[in-house]
C-alpha cells in the first residue's frame, strides 16, 4: 500500500468514512468542493477497443480526455451517465467516407454520429483540396446540387484552407483527410489520358507535399475513376514517396476488384513497397457474379505480402451492393474529359452503339463493366437525380426505368446522363454474402462505410445506399448478434483501435487515460440498422449516447446540436511520425 493511500485510509477511520483503496486524500479534499470530473460514466460494460473481453467499470472524463478508467469509487463529476446494461466503447472510426462537402451543408453529421461514428476519414481519389486549374470546373459540376439547393460556396483552394473552413462552421464528428492522386492530376493536367511530363509530375509532387504539410494523412487513389485511372504505377509510386517522407500512408480503390483483382492488389502492394509506406485497400471485395468465391485467393495475396513484412490492410462495408456514379456503366474511353465533353459524346448514335456492344461483349482490360458485374441491368439501381422530372426514377432498377421510358437500357442510361449532366449516382448489386463474411473475418480488415454524413432532408441525395445510415450498427446487429461472424470485442476492435492503427491516430481508438474522450454506448441486445435499399433514410436504434472530445452529442438517443468535432491534422515530422 502506498504511503498516500495509507494516510487516506487512516484519515477515513478517524472521520468515520468508508475505508476504500479507491478513496484518496484528493477525494477527501474535493468532496465538499467542485466536482473532480466533467463527466462520469458508471456501471458500463467496457470494451476498450483492443479486442479483449468487456469488464464492468467506470470512465471519468475531464477536459475532453479520458482521465481515469476502472472500478472507480468516491469520485464526483458535473454529470453522471448510468450505462447499466450498455456496452461502452471507443467512438467508431469510419475508415472510408465521402462527407467532405455534406459536412459543410450540415455539420451535425446526423447519419454518422447516430451510428456511433466519432471520426471520419475523407479524401478518396478526389480530395477537397487542392482545387485549382482544370479541377475548378470539375468541382463546380460535382457540387452543383449542394451549391444550388444548400448554398455551398467554395472559399478555399488548398486542403489546409478547406480544414479551416470546416473548423469555422463547426462539426459534430472529427475528420482527417488524404490528398487525392487524382485530385493533383486534375489540378495540373485535367482529365486526360496520357502520362505527365517531367514538369507536370514535379508540380503534382509539390501539391502532395503542400497537402501533407497542411495535415493530410497520406495519398489516396481511386483507380477506376477518371483521371485516376490514367495514372500508371510509376506515377503513383513517385507521388506516394512524397507522402512517405511525412510518415503518411497510401490508400487505394484498386484498379480492378474482380477478374483483374490479383493484378490490382499486386499493384497496391508494389506501390507501398517501392514507396516505403503502409498500404490500405478500400472496400475489399470480390466484385462481379463471375468472381464470386474468389475471396480466398485475394486474401492469400495480402496475407503473403504481410508475412514478408509489407504493411497492407483493408476495409469493407457490410453489404452485397456498392454505390458509385451512374456514368461508371460507360466504357473507360467515354469517361475522359469534362462533364460537357462526356455528355456531348453520348448524343452520338454511333457512340451508343459502341457502348451497347462493349457492355454486352466486354473490352480487353476493362475490369469494371458494372452492368455485367451486376448480372445485367436489373442489378443497377438509380440512387439520385437532381432534375425534378427524373426524381420518380430514384430507387428503381435500370431495366424498369428503361421500360418506363420506353427505351433500350443503353438509351435510357445515356439520356439520364445527358439530362443530369453526368451527375446521377447508382447502387450496384455485385457481391456475394459469403465473400463479404470471409473478408470481414480477416484480422487486418477494418470497417468503412464509403458513405457520407447526411440527413433525411437532403433531397439532393435521393435514395442513397443504406450504408450512409446503417454500416456500424449493421455489423453489430447482423454480423455479431444474428450471424456470429464476428465476436463483439473483435467487431469493436475493427471499428476503433484497428482503424486508428491503420491511419496513424495515436490518441483515439482505445479507452485509456490520456486518450481523447470519443465514446459510444450501445445496447448489444438491441442495436440494429433500420436503413434498407428501398428506404435508406432511417437512423439506427440501440445507441443512446455518443460523446466526442468529452462532449455529449447524442444524449438519450437525441442529437444535442453540439459540434465539438476537430480536424485531425497529421502530426508531421520529416522521415516519420
Tell me the mean pLDDT in the region 368-382.
97
Tell me the mean pLDDT in the region 463-478.
98
Q: What is the pLDDT of residue 147?
A: 75
d(CA 483, CA 466): 19
Q: Say if residue 247's pLDDT is above 50.
A: yes
Q: Say if residue 21's pLDDT is above 80.
A: no
Higher pLDDT among residues 518 and 21, named by residue: 518
How confident is the model over 376-397, as pLDDT tens digits? 999 999 999 999 999 999 999 9
Query: Smallest Cα–Cα separation from 427: which of 483, 466, 388, 480?
Result: 466
How confident is the model over 87-136, as pLDDT tens digits? 999 999 999 999 999 999 999 999 999 999 999 999 998 999 999 999 99
Of the pLDDT bands very low, low, confident and very high (cuts 50, 70, 90), residue 141 is: confident
Tell me the mean pLDDT in the region 394-419.
98
Q: What is the pLDDT of residue 148?
A: 66
Q: In what order do the strands lie in the sheet with 218-222?
A: 179-180, 218-222, 249-253, 279-281, 312-316, 445-447
Tell me the mean pLDDT in the region 528-537.
97
How confident is the model over 559-574, as pLDDT tens digits? 999 999 999 999 644 3
- The SS3 call for residue 119 is strand
Of the pLDDT bands very low, low, confident and very high (cuts 50, 70, 90), residue 409 is: very high
Q: Where are the domains of the chain?
A: 92-320+431-559, 324-429
How confident is the model over 276-313, as pLDDT tens digits? 999 999 999 999 999 999 999 999 999 999 999 999 99
Please, are residues 454 and 110 in contact by the beta-carbon 8 Å criterion?
Answer: yes
Cα 476 to the chain's mean position, in Å?
17
Of the pLDDT bands very low, low, confident and very high (cuts 50, 70, 90), residue 152 is: confident
How confident is the model over 310-366, as pLDDT tens digits? 999 999 999 999 999 999 999 999 999 999 999 999 999 999 999 999 999 999 989
CA within 13 Å, CB half, 507: 16
The strand pairing partners of 381, in sequence order, are: 397, 427
Question: In the chain, what is the straight-line distance between the N-terminal and C-terminal CA atoms, in Å?
Answer: 39
Cα Rg, the chain, nearest whole Å: 25
d(CA 453, CA 171): 11
Q: What is the pLDDT of residue 14?
A: 36
Of the pLDDT bands very low, low, confident and very high (cuts 50, 70, 90), residue 2 is: very low
Q: What is the pLDDT of residue 571?
A: 66
Query: How far is CA 410 from each of CA 50, 278, 345, 403, 405, rounded to the nearest angstrom?
Result: 50, 41, 13, 12, 12
Q: What is the pLDDT of residue 575?
A: 36
Class of domain 92-320+431-559: alpha beta
Averaged confidence pLDDT in the chain: 93
Range of lowest pLDDT (133-142, 243-252, 314-323, 514-523): 133-142
**For residue 249, what is its C-alpha cell?**
500512408
Q: What is the pLDDT of residue 493?
A: 99
Q: What is the pLDDT of residue 457?
A: 95
d(CA 560, CA 544): 12
Q: Say if residue 13's pLDDT is above 70.
A: no
Amino acid at each position: 500500500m502506498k504511503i498516500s493511500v495509507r494516510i487516506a485510509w487512516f484519515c477515513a477511520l478517524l472521520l468515520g468514512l468508508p475505508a476504500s483503496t479507491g478513496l484518496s486524500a484528493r477525494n477527501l479534499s474535493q468532496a465538499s468542493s467542485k466536482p473532480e470530473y466533467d463527466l462520469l460514466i458508471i456501471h458500463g460494460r467496457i470494451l476498450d477497443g483492443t479486442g479483449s473481453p468487456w469488464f464492468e467499470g467506470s470512465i471519468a472524463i475531464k477536459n475532453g480526455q479520458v482521465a481515469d478508467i476502472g472500478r472507480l469509487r468516491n469520485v464526483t463529476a458535473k454529470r453522471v451517465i448510468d450505462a447499466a446494461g450498455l456496452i461502452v466503447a471507443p467512438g467508431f472510426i469510419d475508415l472510408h467516407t465521402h462527407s467532405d462537402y455534406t459536412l459543410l451543408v450540415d455539420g451535425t453529421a446526423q447519419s454518422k454520429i447516430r451510428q456511433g461514428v466519432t471520426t471520419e476519414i475523407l479524401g478518396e481519389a478526389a480530395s477537397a483540396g487542392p482545387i485549382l486549374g482544370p479541377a475548378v470546373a470539375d468541382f463546380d459540376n460535382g457540387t452543383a446540387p449542394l451549391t444550388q439547393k444548400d448554398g455551398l460556396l467554395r472559399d478555399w483552394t488548398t486542403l489546409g484552407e478547406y480544414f479551416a473552413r470546416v473548423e469555422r462552421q463547426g462539426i459534430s464528428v472529427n475528420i482527417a483527410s488524404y490528398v487525392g492522386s487524382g485530385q493533383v492530376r486534375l489540378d495540373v493536367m485535367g482529365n486526360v489520358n496520357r502520362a505527365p511530363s517531367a514538369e507536370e509530375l514535379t508540380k503534382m509532387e509539390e501539391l502532395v507535399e503542400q497537402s501533407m504539410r497542411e495535415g493530410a494523412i497520406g495519398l489516396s487513389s481511386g483507380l477506376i475513376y477518371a483521371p485516376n485511372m490514367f495514372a500508371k504505377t510509376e506515377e503513383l509510386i513517385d507521388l506516394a514517396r512524397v507522402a512517405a517522407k511525412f510518415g503518411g500512408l497510401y490508400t487505394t480503390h484498386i484498379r480492378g476488384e474482380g477478374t483483374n483483382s490479383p493484378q490490382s492488389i499486386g499493384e497496391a502492394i508494389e506501390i507501398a513497397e517501392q514507396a516505403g509506406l503502409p498500404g490500405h485497400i478500400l472496400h475489399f471485395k470480390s466484385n462481379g457474379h463471375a468472381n464470386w468465391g474468389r475471396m480466398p485467393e485475394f486474401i492469400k495475396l495480402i496475407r503473403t505480402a504481410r508475412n514478408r513484412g509489407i504493411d497492407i490492410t483493408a476495409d469493407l462495408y457490410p453489404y452485397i451492393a456498392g454505390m458509385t456514379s451512374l456514368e461508371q456503366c460507360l466504357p473507360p474511353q467515354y469517361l475522359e474529359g469534362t462533364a460537357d465533353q462526356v455528355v456531348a459524346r453520348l448524343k452520338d448514335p454511333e457512340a451508343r452503339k459502341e457502348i451497347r456492344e462493349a457492355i454486352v461483349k466486354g473490352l480487353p482490360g476493362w475490369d469494371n463493366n458494372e452492368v455485367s458485374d451486376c448480372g445485367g441491368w436489373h442489378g443497377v439501381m438509380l440512387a439520385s437525380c437532381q432534375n425534378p422530372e427524373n426524381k420518380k426514377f430514384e430507387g428503381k432498377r435500370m431495366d424498369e426505368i428503361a421500360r418506363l421510358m420506353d427505351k433500350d437500357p443503353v438509351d435510357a442510361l445515356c439520356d439520364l446522363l445527358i439530362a443530369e449532366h453526368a451527375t446521377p449516382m447508382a447502387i450496384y448489386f455485385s457481391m456475394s454474402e459469403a465473400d463479404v463474411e470471409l473478408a470481414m473475418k480477416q484480422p487486418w480488415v477494418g470497417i468503412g462505410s464509403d458513405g457520407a454524413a447526411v440527413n433525411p432532408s437532403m433531397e439532393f441525395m435521393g435514395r442513397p445506399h443504406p450504408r450512409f445510415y446503417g454500416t456500424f450498427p449493421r455489423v453489430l446487429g447482423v454480423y455479431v448478434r444474428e450471424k456470429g461472424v464476428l465476436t463483439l470485442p473483435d467487431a469493436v476492435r475493427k471499428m476503433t483501435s484497428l482503424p486508428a492503427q491503420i491511419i496513424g491516430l495515436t490518441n483515439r481508438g482505445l479507452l485509456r487515460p490520456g486518450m481523447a474522450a470519443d465514446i459510444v454506448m450501445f445496447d448489444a441486445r438491441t442495436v440494429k440498422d433500420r436503413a434498407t435499399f428501398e428506404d435508406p433514410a432511417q437512423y439506427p436504434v440501440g445507441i443512446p449516447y455518443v460523446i466526442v472530445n468529452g462532449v455529449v452529442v447524442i444524449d438519450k438517443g437525441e442529437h444535442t446540436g453540439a459540434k465539438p468535432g476537430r480536424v485531425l491534422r497529421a502530426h508531421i515530422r520529416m522521415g516519420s511520425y
